[in-house]
Amino acid sequence: MTEQSAHQVSHDYTNHLVNESSPYLLMHAHNPVDWYPWGQEAFDLARRENKPIFLSVGYSTCHWCHVMERESFTNPEIARIMNDNFVNIKVDREERPDVDKVYMTFVQATTGSGGWPMSVFLTPDLKPFFGGTYWPPVDRYGRAGFSTVLERVAEAWRKDRTRIEQSAADVVEQLKKAVHAPSPDEAHITDETLSRTYQQIRSSYDPANGGFGGAPKFPRPVVFNFLLRYHARTGEQTALQMTLNTLHAMAEGGIHDHLGGGFHRYSVDEKWHVPHFEKMLYDQAQLAISYLEAYQITHDPFYAATLRDILDYVLRDMRNPHGGFYSAEDADSPIEKDKPEHGEGAFYLWTTAQIEEVLGPDAAKIFCYTYDVEPHGNVAPQNDPQGEFTGKNILQVAHPVDDTAKHSGKPSEEIRATLADARSKLLAARDLRPRPPLDDKVLTSWNGLMISAFARAGQVLGEAAYTEAAQGAADFIHSKLYNPQDGTLLRRYREGEIGISGFLDDYTSLIHGLLGLYETSFRISDLVWAIRLQETQDRLFWDDNGGGYFHTTPNDSSIVVRMRDAYDGAEPSGNSLSAINLLRLAEMANRPAWREKADNIFRVFSRQIEHAPETLPQMIAAVDFALSKPRQIVIAGNRDHQDTQALLDVVNQRYLPNKVLFLVDGKASQQLAGWLPFVEGMHAIDGKATAYVCENYTCKLPTTDPQRIAALLDEKA
């Protein structure tokens, strides 16, 4: 144990995280563990003292990260073992996805699973040799506890360091070989690629509860992105119904916050009832798009209402005063005011007595019948292993309004009004509770996804506040996290402090958001910026030897492997989103080279596309775009005039995934014509807003008639 860490363990427990910005790292700044942030100081210490590194990776809203901290990292005896034998590094995976990606790949490859907290032992030169996720503090149920693991690893390092170092070096070489495995000379993508993807996804569908696979159940909106495109291309009704059924089940389940809006991370059960309660910005952004597209296809107000519910929650609780969007709200919160005990979901749980106190007996009876509130709680014991939900209820829609009306003998409209009033009163009462901790850092990548959602919602719903929110977030990133001199992005802003060079997903997600924002507000500056960012992305991340994009630049020597992957999980991968961005930009800026780059991405990942396409549905959505005949839709007219808006509404009310949309309006059209000469002759006919529908820059006869453009758009491409 170093003199400093011994002092910390015996006295004030302040470690090297105390000056960090990440809320997750700051949570651990007063552990007795002598934590260091990822950086040269820790690396040098490990090399100088010939100690292995214990790397702990998590994020601020991670429930099991909190559990491991309470059980192990605040335990002075476990801290003593850690400080004596290891250099201990704590990483926020949301700030440093590059570090997380390398070592999560190792953990998944060696253990068959992964998750957070991620716990990995490294050599002093940062090569992994042993890892896992959560460990209990002591041996339990035949499983080694964390203290036992620490002592065994420390002993192995003392006795067999040379073999461990060689094994770790071999691991890194294997990771590098996997990244740089040769690709086929060309990608064989056809309609069969789409059909195969659909069949694989369909095979895991749960027809009883919606969703894919069993418990735990994750939303995974990237799957909906593909399924809705497949429906639009083929007319396959099952693809649509799987999506709609899942979205409906989620919106009625406990994974949905029925009072405050938005969705929790995932459900521990197969019925979407019992969630892990953290709320992540990237989930809100992507699910908003899913509900929006479901609304475009069906025009069912249920999906529009759920979309508004998500976005209004984000505007109320997840936006900073400058326009950027916060990252997350925690799963855990204080059980009572002014007491240290936290419980998962404490903010969201209700007893019957609490509801009756707020609503009174009559309204409470109606509310409890509708939302499945039971006197003894509504959570099955198997879904509550910690006993935190005993006697409490997680709200879910058990009976629709008409059923409640029939049950209570009252008109449906009266029931609907009663429930709306009840939700409002319960939300106000809930707001008096201690709130879950907020992770208030602003991440460029997640804000890019949110910009896309707000922009498209403003476009489809005609809601100016949503468009303004998208513009505000884009302007915030431009002013705080963008360097116009060299075109580069930073990843993180928090309380005025900025840092961390942008990763691939920061560029891809922001470009994606800006393209949606241009098609909503038609600020030419957003399109110009997207083009500049794509050029920077190509310069910093493109693999000149193998093709595709690396996740990181080559500038950080602490990253032992530059990863390059395409798995579409909770978020779309950088390569998958790049493929569709490149295809759209090729159409919007007349850059054939960018279409070739997209084809190159398909080639690099063609084996995965061939054998496991369900693992990259966002990339298969890009394949759908590549196989289609994208439409260029140009509206010539004054953006502020009603006739222009009428034509735009015809476009925006339709689900047209493989199109790009332009507005020719005054000075901005001059810059547009510089990229797309075919728009130069487009103008409003007889002073009326005019629509041009084109394929491959060849246009059909222009029209000023909304019904005519509707007919043109409804024609099969």
Query: For residue 351, what are the CA distances in angstroms to 356, 426, 503, 573?
Result: 9, 12, 45, 41
What is the mean predicted confidence (pLDDT) over 661-672? 85
What is the mean predicted confidence (pLDDT) over 346-375? 98
Higher pLDDT, 356 or 665: 356
Specify whether 355 is located in the same domain as 418: yes
* Mean pLDDT computed over every residue of the chain: 95
Using alpha carbons, select from 624, 620, 641 the residue that is nearest to residue 575.
620
From 376, 397, 432, give the residue that closes a domain: 432
Q: What pLDDT score was predicted for residue 10?
A: 38
In a domain, 163, yes or no: yes
The tokens for 231 are 């429906």
Range of the domain at 62: 3-179
In degrees and rounded to multiples of 5, residue 438 shows phi and psi of -105, 130
183 dihedral zone (left: phi>0; alpha: psi -120 to 50; beta): beta
In a domain, 403, yes or no: yes
Specify whether 294 is located in the same domain as 388: no
**Residue 11 pLDDT > 60, yes or no?**
no
Specify whether 110 is located in the same domain as 160: yes
Strands 332-334 and 342-344: what pairing? Answer: antiparallel
- Amino acid in position 292: L
CATH number of the domain encompassing residue 651: 3.40.30.10
Which of 113-117, 259-263, 467-471 is the least confident region?
113-117
Which of 95-109, 328-342, 505-519, 617-631 is the least confident region?
328-342
The tokens for 579 are 């493929």
The tokens for 61 are 């809203």
The tokens for 109 are 């490859």
From 300, 319, 338, give the residue that closes a domain: 319
* Other residues' Cβ atoms within 10 Å of the Cβ of residue 709: 24
pLDDT confidence band for 359 (50 / 70 / 90):
very high
Q: What pLDDT score was predicted for residue 697?
A: 80
Q: What pLDDT score was predicted for residue 184?
A: 86
Decide: pTM greater than 0.85: yes
Which of 6-15, 103-112, 214-223, 311-320 is the least confident region?
6-15
From 150, 179, 208, give the residue that closes a domain: 179
Number of domains in the chain: 4
Report the b/e string of 588-615 with b at 16+ CB within 10 A: bbebeebeebbbbbbbbbbeebeeebbb
Using alpha carbons, select from 635, 541, 638 the residue that is nearest to residue 581.
541
In a domain, 507, yes or no: no
Query: For residue 89, what are the CA distances in angstroms to 38, 43, 44, 413, 684?
Result: 6, 9, 12, 58, 62
- Amino acid in position 38: W
pLDDT tens digit sequence for 277-310: 999 999 999 999 999 999 999 999 999 999 999 9
Cα–Cα distance for residue pair 326/33, rounded to 1 Å: 29
**Residue 669 pLDDT > 80, yes or no?**
no
In a domain, 667, yes or no: yes
**Residue 646 pLDDT > 60, yes or no?**
yes
**Residue 8 pLDDT > 80, yes or no?**
no
Q: How many CA atoms, within 13 angstroms, populate the side-chain half-sphere of residue 119?
A: 20
pLDDT confidence band for 573 (50 / 70 / 90):
very high
In a domain, 521, yes or no: no
CATH number of the domain encompassing residue 259: 1.50.10.20
Specify whether 194 is located in the same domain as 168: no
At 490, is the secondary structure helix, strand, or coil? strand
Q: Are 15 and 28 in contact (CB under 8 A)?
A: yes
Q: What spatial distance separates the first Cα and last Cα of the chain, rounded to whole Å?
A: 70
Q: What pLDDT score was predicted for residue 364?
A: 98
Specify whether 40 is located in the same domain as 119: yes
What is the mean predicted confidence (pLDDT) over 616-632? 96
Strands 690-695 and 631-636: what pairing? Answer: antiparallel
Specify whether 166 is located in the same domain as 206: no
360 dihedral zone (left: phi>0; alpha: psi -120 to 50; beta): left
In a domain, 600, yes or no: no
Specify whether 83 is located in the same domain as 168: yes
Structure letter (DSSP) for residue 484: T
In a domain, 609, yes or no: no
In a domain, 325, yes or no: no
In degrees and rounded to multiples of 5, residue 22 shows phi and psi of -65, 125
Using alpha carbons, select from 250, 168, 189 the residue that is nearest to residue 217.
250
Specify whether 159 is located in the same domain as 305: no
pLDDT confidence band for 717 (50 / 70 / 90):
low
Specify whether 132 is located in the same domain as 218: no
Cα–Cα distance for residue pair 78/138, rounded to 1 Å: 10
Specify whether 360 is located in the same domain as 312: no
For the chain, give the number of residues: 717
Q: Are 206 and 214 in contact (CB under 8 A)?
A: yes
Q: What pLDDT score was predicted for residue 188?
A: 87
The tokens for 609 are 């596309």
The tokens for 479 are 């002013």
Q: Are 259 and 422 in contact (CB under 8 A)?
A: no
Cα–Cα distance for residue pair 284/291, rounded to 1 Å: 10
**Residue 70 pLDDT > 90, yes or no?**
yes
Specify whether 354 is located in the same domain as 386: yes
Q: What is the CA radius of gyration of the chain?
A: 27
In degrees and rounded to multiples of 5, residue 262 shows phi and psi of 85, 175
Cα–Cα distance for residue pair 216/379, rounded to 1 Å: 15
Which of 7-16, 149-158, 452-461, 597-606 is the least confident region?
7-16
**Residue 268 pLDDT > 90, yes or no?**
yes
Q: Are 553 and 487 in contact (CB under 8 A)?
A: no
Q: Is 225 exposed, middle or buried, given 0-12, 13-18 or 19+ CB atoms closer than 10 A?
A: buried
Specify whether 17 is located in the same domain as 134: yes
What is the mean predicted confidence (pLDDT) over 419-425? 98
Q: What pLDDT score was predicted for residue 6?
A: 32
Q: What pLDDT score was predicted for residue 670?
A: 81
